[in-house]
Structure 1
Amino acid sequence: MVLRRLQADAIGMLLGGVLDAMFGDPRRWHPVAGFGRFAGAVERHTYADARPAGARFTAVAVGVPVTLAALAAWLTRRRPVARTVLVAGATWAALGGTSLAREGRVMADRLDGGDLDSARAQLPNLCGRDPSALGAPELARATVESVAENTSDAVVGPLFWGAVAGLPGIVGYRAVNTLDAMVGHRSARYARFGTASARLDDLANLVPSRVTAALTVAAAPVVGGRSGAALRVWLRDGGRHPSPNSGQCEAAAAGALGVRLGGRNVYGSRVEERPHLGDGGPPGPRDVRRAAVLSLVVGAAALGLACAARAGATRAGAARAGAARAGAATAEAAGREL
Structure 2
Amino acid sequence: MISLLALLAGFLLDLLIGDPHFLYHPVRLVGALISFLEKWIRKLFPKTERGEFFGGILMAVLVIAVTTAVPALLVFGASFWCVQARFVVETILCYWLLATKSLKDESMKVYDKLAAGDLPGSRQAVSMIVGRDTAALDEKGVTKAAVETVAENTSDGIIAPMLFMAVGGPVFGWFYKSINTMDSMVGYKNDKYLYFGRFAAKLDDVVNFLPARLSGVLMVLASGLSGFDRANAWKIFRRDRKNHASPNSAQTEAVMAGALRIQLAGDAWYFGKLYQKPTIGDDLRPVEYEDIRRANRLLYATALLSLLIFSLVKILILALSGRM
TM-score by length of 1: 0.88
Ranges in structure 2 where 5+ consecutive residues have no aligned partner: none
Gapped runs of 5+ residues in structure 1?
A: 1-6, 322-338
The answer (yes or no) to whether the contact 1:213–1:234 under 8 Å persists in 2 is: yes
Determine the C-alpha separation between the residues in 2 that align with 1:97 and 1:204: 20
Structure 1 residue 95, shift from structure 2 partner: 0.8
Match of 1:36 among 31, 34, 45: 31
Paired residue secondary structure (1:200): helix
Alignment partner, residue 12 of structure 1: 6
Please, which of 161, 183, 186 is the counterpart of residue 183 of structure 1? 186
Q: Which residue number in structure 1 is paired with residue 287 of structure 2? A: 283
Alignment partner of 1:292 is 2:296? yes
Structure showing greater relative contact order (alpha-carbon pairs closer than 8 Å, 6 or more residues apart): 1
More moved, 112-121 vs 10-19: 112-121
Aligned residue number for residue 64 of structure 2: 62
CA deviation vs aligned residue, 1:143-201 (integer Å, no higher than 9, x gap): 11111001111100110111111121111111111111111122221110001111111
**RMSD (Å), alpha carbons:** 1.7
Stretch of structure 1 that moved more, 12-21 or 218-227: 218-227
Letter in 1 for 2:72: A
Question: 2-side partners of 1:9 and 1:191: how far apart?
Answer: 38
Q: Post-superposition shift, 1:132?
A: 0.7
The alpha-carbon deviation at position 221 of structure 1 amounts to 3.0
Separation in 2, partners of 1:20, 1:303: 13
Aligned position for 1:334: none
The correspondence of residues 46-195 of structure 1 with structure 2, limited to 5 A, is 46-47=41-42, 48=45, 49=47, 50-77=52-79, 79-195=82-198
1:124 CA drift (Å): 1.6
Conserved in 1, the CA contact under 8 Å of 2:71 and 2:93? no
Q: In structure 2, what residue type is equivalent to 1:109?
A: D
Question: In the alignment, is the contact (CA less than 8 A) between 2:226 and 2:301 conserved in 1?
Answer: no
Q: Deviations over 1:238-282 (max 9, x none)?
A: 012111111111001111111111111111222212211111234
1:241 is paired with a residue whose SS is: coil
Cα drift, residue 8 of structure 1: 0.5
**2:246 is the counterpart of 1:240:** no
- Percent identity of the aligned residues? 31
List per-residue Cα deviations over 1:29-61 (Å, max 9, x = no partner).
Answer: 211111211222222221244211100100001
Distance 1:134 1:316 in 2: 54
> Which stretch of structure 1 is more off in the superposition, 264-273 or 16-25?
264-273
- Count of residue pairs brought into register by the alignment: 314
Within the candidate set 226, 231, 234, 2:229 is matched to 226
Kindly provide the amino acid, as one letter, of the partner of residue 224 in structure 1: G
